[in-house]
Structure 1
Amino acid sequence: MEKTLHLDPVAGSGARDTSPRQVFLDACHILAHQGHATGLAGQVTVRDGDSSRLLTLALGTGLEEADDASMLLVDEHLTTLQGTGKANPGVRFHSWIYRHHPGVRAIIHTHPQALSALSMLGIGMPVAHMDAAMFHDDCGFLAHWPGVPTGDDEGALISGALAGKRSAFLVNHGMVCTGATLQEAVYLNVFAERNARMCLDALAIGPLQPVEPAAAKEAHDFLLQPAIVNGTFAYWARQAARAAKSSIT
């Protein structure tokens, strides 16, 4: 049975601007709309083409405030090359990941409530529902929090926790999601928070029943198809845009 989807990621919405800078803004607005904006914690970065330069937000800018003026282009040492301001010092561990995982093009790290709460239990990312199957055998676990990730030691530990996987769950902290595209990293980050909320709700009643590994592997591959990832991202971008528009009318 054919399980590969071929979707128009902007079906029914009109053509969207898919330039790198607009996708970056869409990513920030999606994360804010999905409840990932908690103070100044967390970072969004994406490689600038094939270089070691990164696009990120200026320190002090909330995800919902992201606009052209708040975007920075920085080098791997976080020196500002274009834009006004400086990068969040937490971006330093992103540089470690990019350096040691050349296939990674984008990184999302936020502190939403459910993921933060689940990280307090000292367990790896559970896969007990189909909507969490993208994390099956594809999520590392850092079992000891190294402290605020602004130094080289923390960067090395978090980079090592990925170990070739797309995501890593950090005890007493939260989630790091990477992607071959920024759309993929956002998709993983949003579904990680959804999974954390579901797990906490279920654990309040009883133990989790994990998805059978073969079924989880099948669902993992299905849910990470670019058509599904990109279509979901475009849908979330439209949601965030409508919400922003309604808030000012």
Structure 2
Amino acid sequence: MNYKKLIVDSGLRMLRGGYTVETWGNISARDPETNLVYLTPSGMDYTTIQEEDIVVLDLQGNRVEGHRKPSIELDLHLHVYRSRPEVQAVVHTHPIYSTVFSCCGEDIPMVIDEAAQVLGDVCRTAKYGLPGSQELAENCVEALGKTANACLLQSHGAVCVGQTMDEAFKVCKVLEVTAQIYQMIRAMGRDYKKISDEHIAAMRYFAKNVYGQK
């Protein structure tokens, strides 16, 4: 697989999907055969990034290829990969509805079936840490835990993970739709009806083992 092209294409996908604005957000992918991480460069317009701009590093953060300065959130991406061996893609977004809840320091519960199937667990808001800091990276990993596929960064945005880039983007989409629906429930002055743990487990199994073309 051409991982550099995957990162370039995914940057455009994030921008055009409305998951970020300008140069904010960052994306990485890990090659499971080499454990090398391919990461977006810092502060570059996603419409201008080329394959030669992608930075390649090992899991300790040593540069292997690329001449650009890597994303400021390099430590966050590496922390996620080191703590979650099954994860092969990380997408850090700045979506509107999800970020509203992050600014309140609130979690987003699994209020819809799609969230129960895709998000893995409640989407928790990580404690605040400055962008690019070791503290933020550690807080992100703590909020993700071992089962969640998404977390919020307080007053900052969201981090979504997957075993493939497509899976990570599915998490991005489902998280933002869930946040929008949850915000509308709250605006009505109502509370949501909790989906039982039993039904959540059944839907996770369905999504993983039954749904779609295998």
Report the TM-score, using the length of structure 1 for normalisation.
0.72
Indicate how the Cα distance of structure 1 residues 71 and 210 shifts in structure 2: closer, same or farther if over 3 A, else same. farther
Deviation at 1:131, TM superposition (A): 2.6
- 1:29-65: CA deviations, max 9, x gaps? 2222210122322210111333342112222223344
Q: Quick one: distance in 1 between partners of 2:189 and 2:48?
A: 40
- 1:113-162: CA deviations, max 9, x gaps? 111112123321122222322356524524521232x2323222221222
Indicate how the Cα distance of structure 1 residues 83 and 147 shifts in structure 2: closer, same or farther if over 3 A, else same. closer
1:86 equivalent to 2:86? Answer no
Which structure shows the higher helix fraction? 1
Aligned to 1:216: 200
Structure 2 residue runs without a partner (length 5+) = none
Indicate how the Cα distance of structure 1 residues 210 and 26 shifts in structure 2: closer, same or farther if over 3 A, else same. farther
SS of residue paired to 1:63: coil
Q: Quick one: distance in 1 between partners of 2:208 and 2:144?
A: 17
1:57 equivalent to 2:29? Answer no
TM-align CA RMSD: 2.8
**In the alignment, is the contact (CA less than 8 A) between 2:28 and 2:38 conserved in 1?**
yes
- 1:204-243: CA deviations, max 9, x gaps? 1122313422333333333456975x99xxxxxxxxxxxx
1:74 equivalent to 2:57? Answer yes
Deviation at 1:71, TM superposition (A): 2.2
* Alignment-mate amino acid for residue 222 of structure 1: F
Aligned to 1:189: 172
Deviation at 1:85, TM superposition (A): 1.2
Report the TM-score, using the length of structure 2 for normalisation.
0.82
* Alignment-mate amino acid for residue 146 of structure 2: G
Structure 1 residue runs without a partner (length 5+) = 1-17, 232-249
**In the alignment, is the contact (CA less than 8 A) between 1:125 and 1:135 conserved in 2?**
no
Q: Quick one: distance in 1 between partners of 2:3 and 2:206?
A: 26
Q: Quick one: distance in 2 between partners of 1:140 and 1:118?
A: 10
**In the alignment, is the contact (CA less than 8 A) between 1:107 and 1:179 conserved in 2?**
yes
**In the alignment, is the contact (CA less than 8 A) between 2:88 and 2:163 conserved in 1?**
yes
1:153 equivalent to 2:153? Answer no
How many residue pairs align between the two structures?
212
**In the alignment, is the contact (CA less than 8 A) between 2:97 and 2:176 conserved in 1?**
yes
Indicate how the Cα distance of structure 1 residues 82 and 196 shifts in structure 2: closer, same or farther if over 3 A, else same. same
Higher relative contact order (CA 8 A, sep 6+): 1
> Equivalent pairs: percent with the same residue?
20
Larger Rg: 1
Q: Quick one: distance in 2 between partners of 1:134 and 1:64?
A: 32
Deviation at 1:192, TM superposition (A): 0.9
